[in-house]
Amino acid sequence: MSAALLYALAGAALFAIGLAGLLLQPHLLRKILAFNILGSGAFLILVGLGQRDGIIDPVPQAMVLTGIVVAIAATALALALARQLLDLTGQMRLPEDRPDTEPADD
Among 2, 3, 70, 94, binds other proteins (CB under 8 A): 70
Applying CB under 8 A, does 2 fall inside the site for other proteins? no
> What letters, b where the CB count within 10 A reaches 16 and e where it falls short, cover 39-58?
bbbbbbbbbbbbbbeeeeee
User: Do the Cβ atoms of 49 and 81 come closer than 8 Å?
Assistant: no
Q: How far is the CB of 34 from other proteins (least distance, A)?
A: 11
The set of residues, in sequence order, having a beta carbon less than 8 Å from that of 106 and lying 6+ positions away, is 91, 92
Among 33, 63, 91, 98, binds other proteins (CB under 8 A): 63
Q: How far is the CB of 103 from other proteins (least distance, A)?
A: 19
Among 27, 39, 46, 74, binds other proteins (CB under 8 A): 74
List the one residue out of 27, 20, 18 whose CA is nearest residue 97: 27
Applying CB under 8 A, does 81 fall inside the site for other proteins? yes
Rounded (5°) CA angle 40-8-15: 40
Which residues sit at the interface with other proteins, rule CB under 8 A? 5, 8-9, 12-13, 15-17, 19-20, 23-24, 26, 45, 49, 52-53, 55-59, 61-63, 65-66, 68-70, 72-74, 76-77, 79-81, 83-84, 86-87
